[in-house]
C-alpha cells in the first residue's frame, strides 16, 4: 500500500482524484496512520462484503438461538 503524508495529500488531492486508483493510499500524520484514500469502487465492494457478512452472522445467531430454545447446546473444550 502506498503511503503519503497528510501534507502531501493536502497538496496533491486534485491530482490523486484524477489518477487511476488501483490501490488504497494510507495517509500519515507525524508518522502515524490517520486515514486511507481509496476508490469509490473499492469502498462499495467493502460495503457489499460487510452487508453479506452481516446477513451470514444474523442467520447463524438466529439458528443458535433456535437450537438453545430446544435444548440443543454445545460445550466448548480446549
Greater model confidence, 20 or 9: 9
Share of the chain above pLDDT 70, in %: 96
Measured on CA atoms in the order 46, 52, 56, 59, is the torsion positive or negative?
positive
Closest to 26 in 3D by CA, of 10, 4, 46, 44: 4
Q: Among the listed ranges 20-24, 38-42, 52-56, which one has the minimum average pLDDT value?
A: 20-24
- What is the CATH number that goes with domain 2-38? 3.40.1620
Q: What is the dihedral of CA 17, 19, 20, 21, to 10 degrees?
A: -50
Model confidence pTM above 0.75: no
Per-domain residue ranges of the chain: 2-38, 39-71
Question: What confidence tens digit (pLDDT) does each residue in 23-49 have?
Answer: 888 999 999 999 999 989 999 999 999
What confidence score (pLDDT) does residue 20 get?
Answer: 64
What confidence score (pLDDT) does residue 48 get?
Answer: 94
Amino acid at each position: 500500500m502506498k503511503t503519503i503524508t497528510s501534507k502531501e495529500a493536502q497538496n496533491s488531492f486534485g491530482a490523486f482524484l484524477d489518477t487511476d486508483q488501483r490501490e488504497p493510499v494510507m495517509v500519515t500524520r507525524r508518522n502515524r496512520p490517520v486515514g486511507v484514500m481509496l476508490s469509490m469502487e473499492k469502498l462499495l465492494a467493502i460495503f457489499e462484503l460487510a452487508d453479506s457478512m452481516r446477513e451470514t452472522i444474523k442467520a447463524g445467531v438466529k439458528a443458535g438461538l433456535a437450537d438453545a430454545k430446544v435444548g440443543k447446546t454445545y460445550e466448548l473444550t480446549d
